[in-house]
Every structure is written in structure tokens, then in C-alpha cells.
Amino acid sequence: MSNSLLNIKGVSCAAINAGIKNNDALDLSIISLADGSTTAGVFTQNIFCAAPVVVAKNHLQQSPLALLINSGNANAGTGTQGMENTVKTCEILAEKLGININQVLPFSTGVIGQQLDLSKFEVGIPSVVSKLSADGIADVAKGILTTDLVEKSVSTQFEVNGTMVTITGVAKGSGMIRPDMATMLSFIFTDIKASQVELQTGLTTATNQSFNRITVDGDTSTNDACTLSATGMSGVDINDCMDEFQQALNFVTKTLAHKIIKDGEGATKFVEVCVKGGASNKDCLEVAYTVAHSPLVKTALFASDANWGRILAAVGRANISGLTIEDINIYLNKVSIIQAGEPDESYTEVAGSAEMAKDTIVITIEIGESDTQESVWTTDFSYDYVKINAEYRT
């Protein structure tokens, strides 16, 4: 597993400051894919999905050859005009690259409810295209950010019969995170040879154990999207290494998902809520999300306050049937709080406070005897979370 960002043969990228944001940061990115590339995608389930999401979903079946991404404006809640503006940006890029308009996948992130300034794209797109290079992916990782404090990127490689297969991914997101398909935005590239159907299967599997298991605040964005593009330029066919590819892709998506949580708006704690023993995976997830979304649990985590009654109360109100008090055990890291529904006699406030003071915490909740287990990753709620979101448009 590599720590440095690796280029993918057949992928060229660039990002510039086109003036879409109100600062000097990179905000317009383009990714160009070699002919013959295949792309799969997963998108937000929010009914108010943004104009670029609607267009990208429509274009996904047209053998995409370019991704157009802007930050600073979500182009969501913008009605018919927003849709027309998205199509126009695709048209500008398609003309510059000499491809069909339907082969451009558009993505936007930023403030909801404001129309795109098309002049920024008319001037910016030719400038970005002129800068396309094989090693521009790091700039894209910067160009897609909004309230994020750090770039989120990762690469990994595995060998098949002496040939290296590479996967590189970038992501953005730190607030309005409970993806319900993927993260706010994530773009993953590989040089493996695969059909769109094969990529879609792999991506859905990977997102379900990564991006679909994280939550900062329980809000699903209007713009969530995650794509996986394969150029085929390693010459290795996915059918010759299906398990190894899935394992590597899972690593990439989970690493990016965890980076999103660690960069959660105002976050000071990285928290795993692990629920075991439920009648079904769905029951385990319901309990995990109920705890992870509790503002009282999250503020106690921020305060390093071992107020375990808040965890207990959240578990008790989880919307599942057949939850029995006597079956419930709760742990803060390795420290036992509740055993068989009663306070553990060995528990001390000192021990609980010591665990809550750590910046990485695992809350384990056992609700039955089955082998079923699910984890959700989340953050605490700090003063800064409120400040960042209260001042987002000012």
C-alpha cells in the first residue's frame, strides 16, 4: 500500500482558480480519460439532487471521457436554469476536448441555491484544458475542496502475473455527511481493464462498506457522487484478479471515508460505533446510527465527558424490534460500562473519562448473540461545527 499519490496511465488532470470561490483557491478541475475507458458511478438519494447529478447520471451510459468539477457553487436547488447551465458547461468542455457533450460528467459542490456564473467556465475551461497533465491529480484533490481543511487522497497497487495494477482516489467532504450512497464527492481511477458493469459491482460493494458507513451530522447532501474510472492501460483484466481488485478498491474507499470523518467540520474525535449481535445487519446499523447521530452523545464526546447514560438512552430508542435490556453490553474502547443491561460493577468514572479523553474512540454495543456486526464512523460535535455552519455563507 502506497502513501504517495500515483498517476494512472490514461488519466490527465488539471485544476485552476477560476474565481468561482470567493478566495484564491483552486475551484475548477478537469479530468480527461483515454479512449476506451469505462466509468461507473453512485449518486445521492436526495430528492433535491443537484443539476450536475441529474446530468451525470444521464451521461454515465454514454462512455464518459471527461469529468468537469467545480467547487464553490453546488448548482443545487437552481431549477431549470441550473440544468441549462450544467449542460452548457459540458458543451464548452466537450468542444475543447473534441468529444461528445454526453461524454462529459459534471460535478459541483459548494453553496446551494445559487446559479453558476457561466462566464467563469467560458474563460476557465480552456485554461484548465491547456494545463492537463499526467500528474495533475494532486491539484484536483485541492480543487474539489470546500470547508475541508485537508486534501483527501490515496493510492494503492497490487501485482498480477508480474504486472502492477494501480488505483488512485481523491475525495472531498467534511460536513453535510451521511452519504446514503457515496461521499460528497469522490473520484477513483485505475488502469485495470473492466466493463462498466464489472466496475459498478465493485464500486457498489466498496461504497457500502466505506462511504455508506460514515456520518458527521446525519445530513445527506444534494450533490453526493462517487465515480470509478478504468483506463485498461495496465493490460490486466479484472476477471484475472477480481478478489485482489475488490480488496484494493475497498482499501481506497475506506481510507478516503475515514479521512472525511477525521476532517469533519470542527471534529476533534474519530469515533467508531460498532454494534454486534443484532437479528440483522439492518438492526445493527439502526442502533449504530442512532448513537452516532445523537447530539447529546456527540457533545459528550467533544467534552470528553464519560456521560454514558447518553449512549444508553440512544441505544434504548433505536427503532428496532426485539431489543432486550438483558442482552445489552456497552464498552468504551476496552472499558466495560454496561453488562447484561446493568452498570458494570468494575466501572469507574476515572476509567471512563480516560477513554473519552482520547482522540480515537470505539464504542462497542452488543445487543444479542448472533455473529452479525456493523460499524459506523463518526465525529464529535464541537463549538467549531456550529461556527463553521453558521458562518458558511458569510
**Catalytic amino acids?**
183
From residue 225, alpha-carbon distances to 61, 67, 80, 145, 259 in Å are 15, 12, 21, 14, 17
**What whole-number distance in Å separates Cα of residue 244 and Cα of residue 238?**
9
**What whole-number distance in Å separates Cα of residue 316 and Cα of residue 5?**
44
Residue among 87, 121, 97 at smallest CA distance from 32: 97
Dihedral of the alpha carbons of 41, 47, 52, 56, in degrees to the nearest 10: 30
